Structure 1
Amino acid sequence: MSEPVAINPRIIEALYSEALVLSDEVRGAFTLSGRLERASLDEDLTRVALSSEGLRTTTRMMHAIAWLLNHRAYFLGEISQLQLRRHGRLAPDMRRSEPEQLALLDPKIVELVQTTRCFYDRLLRLDSNWRLSDHSQPSALERLRERLERRLAS
């Protein structure tokens, strides 16, 4: 088994670009899908499925982008590793889709939803490996900088 990939600025930038493209696709799919192209037995159920899946998928991507922005800020020196560890967490329990609702949606939308889930799962694995790989305490210099920042902020 290969060693987990360490998170670095290049990986974060590539993932951030991918997240932006994917988020734009999500926005477009759920905006354009306001008109139901497939007639179903119960159009109201389909509208509910579309709305709830649109909300889940959009939320999933916004969490992913927030996580990536925190890592970008860390690599740019805008936040410390301690701040990143405290506030740069992904929610591991993002609500999954209900199969009955997905069955009502257009296959292209279902595929997009699955793509966002796979993307989010990749970020979860990266985050988990990163948190497990570095149990070290912040350096003395970083602790001093944090104390100075708190004093200056008061």
Structure 2
Amino acid sequence: MNQGPREIRLRGRLVESLYTEAMLLADEARAYFEHRGRDDRDALDPLSRVTMSCESLKVTTRLMHVLAWLLTERAIELGQMSDEEAQASARRLGDAAGSERAVLDSLPTQARALVDASLDLYARVRRLEGDAPDLSGPAVSPALSLLDRLERAF
């Protein structure tokens, strides 16, 4: 799908906004899980402490996948990466483990909020990646692309 200058600018702004959000969330998660959350973690039973540690690793993994993908998108926009490099499977959004609601409900409130925020951000970036233009094939007309998106939505 060919993108016009307006769509490219909008996508670039969206990528920048998501990058800022991801960096802020990563900083907030680090601060909580390394420092402020220690009292919350220490108040838990041993199994719940392990669960909280596992969830903190999942948050970190999700955010690192998101940041890596967003940095790739920025490099593409700045012309620092070729189309072939950008299409490599290593440049796609990595798979990240989900979290079970029952497990999350046992976590302290702030830990649960951080996990939920990372899940939401990851899902939004996953959708954005799905809407990314395929640079490897022939250009598709905007009308056909819209029809395809409508068919997938319904």
Q: Calculate the TM-score normalised by the size of structure 2.
A: 0.74
Number of residue equivalences: 130
Match of 2:40 in 1: 36
Aligned pairs for 1:96-107 (under 5 A) are: 96-107=98-109
The counterpart of 1:114, out of the listed 102, 113, 116, is 116
Question: Root-mean-square deviation (CA), in Å?
Answer: 2.4
SS at match of 1:102: helix
Alpha-carbon shift at residue 134 of structure 1 (Å): 5.3
Alpha-carbon shift at residue 78 of structure 1 (Å): 1.1
Match of 1:68 in 2: 70
Match of 2:152 in 1: none
Alpha-carbon shift at residue 21 of structure 1 (Å): 0.5
**Contact 1:71–1:88 under 8 Å retained in 2:** no
Name the % identity.
36
SS at match of 1:79: coil
- 1:72-111 CA-partner distances (Å, limit 9, x unpaired): 11111111122111132113x4211133432321112112
Alpha-carbon shift at residue 51 of structure 1 (Å): 0.5
Q: Which amino acid aligns with 1:34?
A: R
Aligned pairs for 1:19-58 (under 5 A) are: 19-31=22-34, 32-36=36-40, 39-40=43-44, 43-58=45-60
Q: Per residue, is there more helix in 1 or in 2?
A: 2
Which structure has more relative contact order (CA 8 Å, sep 6+)? It is: 2
| Whole-angstrom distance in 2 between the partners of 1:98 and 1:78 | 39
| Whole-angstrom distance in 2 between the partners of 1:124 and 1:51 | 25
| Whole-angstrom distance in 2 between the partners of 1:28 and 1:82 | 38
Q: Which runs of 4+ in 1 moved over 2 A?
A: 34-40, 98-101, 133-138
The answer to whether 1:15 aligns with 2:54 is no
**Contact 2:42–2:49 under 8 Å retained in 1:** no
| Whole-angstrom distance in 1 between the partners of 2:80 and 2:22 | 21
